[in-house]
Structures are given as C-alpha cells and as structure tokens.
Homo-oligomer: A and B are copies of this chain.
Amino acid sequence: MPKLTAIRKQALEGMMKEAIFEATVAVLAEHGVGGMTMDRVAATAGVAKGSLYRYFRSKRELLEFVHEKVLDPLARNLEALVAASRPAVEKLADHLRVVLEHVAQNVQVHKLLFQDDAAYRLIRSSDRRSLERAAQGLAEIFRQGMDEGIFRSGNPNQFASMYLGLCRGILEGQPELARPEQREEVHHLILGTLLHGIVTEQV
C-alpha cells in the first residue's frame, strides 16, 4: 500500500466530510432540526444516502460532528479567556464579545444550537464537553469576581445561568449583528444590564 495513496484517500475523506457538513448546515438552516432528514442531507450534498453512512455512523454522529466543528473553536477561545489572569469584569466583557462575534459568523447554526432546544439537547446529551465546560468556565469568572469583591456574592452557577439567559433572550430576537457597531450595541445592552441593572438611580 503506497503512502501517497493513503494520504490522498484521507484528504478525499476529509473533503467528503466537509461537503456533508456544509450540506447539513444548509438543510438545518432551511428546514430546522425536525426537518433535517438524512435523505435531504444526501440530496443537498449530491450523494446517495448510503454514502453518508460511510462517513458518519449515524445521524447523531453527523450532528455531533457539526456541533464540534462549529463550537469547538469557540470553546477553545473561551477557555483561554477564562484561564487568563485579568479582572473578572474584563473577562466577562470579552466573553460576551467573543460569543457575539461567533454568533454573527455562524448565524444559521446558532439559530439552531442556541435557540432550538431539541437540537441543543440532542447534542448536549451525548457530548457535554464543549458547552458544559464553557458554562463551568463562565461560573469560574463569576467566582473570581466575587473574590475580587466586585460582584455580589451568590451562586456563581446561577449567575452564569442568568447571564446565558440574558444572552438568549436578546439573541432570540435575532438582532442584526453583522456590523461591529451593531454587536457593540448588543454587547453594551447585555453587559450593562447584567452589571448594573436597569434602574437609573440607586435605591
């Protein structure tokens, strides 16, 4: 078995996976999770359904692949961010900025993974690595903020949940995020609310 052939084979396999990945995202974007069938993915990718099963053992595995391919880079970014030694508030601001950027660059996927619980859970139940680690990292930031004395004391996991809920609430409205100024606006809204609330003066 010649070496070159093996390499080319792997490259071809990678390209096929990539093509199927893109078809999957397209189908998800057009038909939602409920309407994502293997037949549709195959048709969109321009291959036979049987071929899908050469590259992915099951539908679930395909979805996990999509999940990882999209969210792993994000997770990596966020982990680095959490690990850095800087004030919690700055970390939080950056966290939100990174998330918004990622959402802006993966609108279709996030429309599903962020909003559609069906997809979210389907995936999360099997692969809890990236997203749950991300949530833990988030809690870590809040814990740090409490240590610094800048955040009220409380349950950091609840704080993380509230922060994510806040994001979700706003992102569900599908705000325009393409331009940096637009992202900055949303960033300001979410972070401002989380940090200082919506009341004008102090009570």
Contact = CB atoms under 8 A, between A and B. Distances in A.
B173 A169 contact: no
Interface residues of A, number: 42
Given A118-B118, A194-B197, A165 B157 contact: no
A80 interface: no
4 nearest interchain CB pairs? A165-B169, A197-B197, A165-B165, A161-B169
Given A89-B199, A197-B197, 20 more contacts: A117-B117, A117-B118, A145-B198, A149-B200, A150-B199, A151-B200, A152-B192, A152-B200, A158-B170, A161-B169, A162-B166, A162-B170, A162-B189, A165-B166, A165-B169, A166-B166, A168-B169, A195-B197, A195-B199, A196-B202
Interface of A: 34, 89, 115-118, 142, 145, 149-152, 154, 157-159, 161-170, 172-173, 189-190, 192-203
